[in-house]
Amino acid sequence: MIYSKLLGVGSALPPRCVSNEALVESLAERGVESSSDWIEERTGIKQRYLAEPDISSSQLGFQAAQRALEHASRSANDVDLIIVATSTPDVIFPSTACLIQQQLGCKGGAAFDVQAVCAGFVYGLATADAMIRTGMARCALVIGAEVFSRILDWNDRRTCVLFGDGAGAVVLGAGDSPGIHACALHADGSLVSILQTAGQVCSGKICGHPFLTMDGQAVFKTAVNVLDQVAREVCAKASISVDELDWLIPHQANIRILQATAKRLALPLEKVIITVDQHANTSAASVPLALDWAIRQGKVKPGQKVLLEGVGGGMTWGACLLSY
């Protein structure tokens, strides 16, 4: 029987790190009032990385992919599947995955994007796992890459302080023992209005609202509920109890969601990987960024059970249980 195994991880961040203090100063120049303490208290965020205009999602994704391949001791020529989760593609088409494939120089394998916003990386991981298990691929790159700063209204302090840019990647390879034990994916399209970017390019013009909008209270309530439910669902699929998890790596939206999710699951916060303070909310990049950080910091160790979960606009949500 064929299984997929996690072989390597990598990440990439833009060079410019912006502290809360620097962001507050920049917002003040626009007449937008905020404070460093207000941001940290409400979100847990201390800083974020913001891309300059010449940095794209595909460039960040390519850098993360290179580092993941190096960590996995694989070359680009080994890769026969690239899945990129992004809400901020370089262009309408071709896909960001094809652009990264071009940069890697490994033509021939399948390459496509998935759009599930902040749950996108988990969607991509579950898809790659299924393709490896069925023999459609042997070595997959799954990448979450975002330049979310491009779709933020910098006059709206409720949203602009929450997000950052970055990319994370994993290499999955076929093996004879499980690395990914179970996955679950869900969506509820009736909730589209609580988190969306409703603009589009139409006849050469931007039509609709081009910036992210969010009903914070509704997103919080939904996120905590579905992250609790899907974590239990995946653990049940894998025939383990939640308290057998070594680590929980949720989407890094804000500290309050992370704390509430851990409480719902009766997991000590010490078992939750938290990087929202460093990176802010990087949408589809947040889970692989946190996974890469946790492995390279020596927190996640070989053989440990790690639950990855995400929730995003759509609303979409999902989880994958893996052993590193």
- Asked about 281 being catalytic, the answer comes back as yes
Tokens of 201: 């390019």
Placement of tokens 């990176």 in the chain: 279
Instruction: Show Cβ contacts of residue 228 under 8 Å, excluding neighbours closer than 6 positions.
Output: 261, 264, 265
Of 71, 181, 251, 279, the active-site residue reads 251
Of 71, 160, 183, 281, the active-site residue reads 281
DSSP 156: -
Given a contact cutoff of 8 angstroms between Cβ atoms, the answer to whether 143 and 56 are in contact is no
Element holding 23 (H helix, E strand): helix 20-29
- Asked about 118 being catalytic, the answer comes back as yes
Amino acid at 177: S
By DSSP bridging, strand 200-202 and strand 205-207 are: antiparallel
Of 20, 71, 106, 118, the active-site residue reads 118
By DSSP bridging, strand 305-312 and strand 247-250 are: parallel
Distance in Å from the first CA to the final CA of the chain: 19
Which residues are marked as active site? 118, 251, 281
